[in-house]
Amino acid sequence: FRFKDSLAEDLGRADLVISHAGAGSCLETLEKRKPIIVVTNEKLMNNHQLELAKQLHRDGHVLCCNCSTLVETLQSMDLSTLKPFPPGQPEKFALFLDKVVG
């Protein structure tokens, strides 16, 4: 999709998600407990997406590739190796804000 207001319904039906490495796309997919292949664009300057994708891959939550290795990744993937992403804990952030801001 180029743009869609919400992917929740599509994610709910998906068996596998192939996405760019945007934080929103990655985290929404991981929160829905769906396996994801993150395709990075290595040509972006100051590529924060690449940093996020690599960290999520190192932590075992996503498979990561680029456009030229996507087919190979699909052929060799083992989704059973992916670890569930831990749920968010907004209460910890709220406590932190309370300490800092008062």
What pLDDT does 92 receive?
87
Q: Is residue 32 part of a domain?
A: yes
What pLDDT does 45 receive?
62
pLDDT in tens, 46-65: 678 888 999 999 999 999 99
Q: CATH number, domain at 16?
A: 3.40.50.2000
In three-state form (DSSP H/G/I as H, E/B as E, the rest C), the secondary structure along 1-19 is CCCCCCCHHHHHHCCCEEE
**pTM of the predicted model as reported, rounded to 2 decimal places:** 0.81
Q: Is residue 65 part of a domain?
A: yes
Provide the domain count of the chain.
1
What pLDDT does 86 receive?
92
Residue 28's domain spans which residues? 7-101
Q: Check: CB of residue 33 under 8 Å from CB of residue 84.
A: yes
Q: Is residue 46 part of a domain?
A: yes
* % of the chain with per-residue pLDDT over 90: 62
The partner residues of 63 in beta bridges, in order of sequence, read 37
| Tokens (6 digits) for 9 | 């319904």
**Any long-range contacts for 95-101 (C-beta under 8 Å, 24+ apart)?**
none
Q: Please tell me which of 20-24, 40-44, 64-68 the model is most confident about, judged by mean pLDDT.
A: 64-68
Q: Is residue 2 part of a domain?
A: no
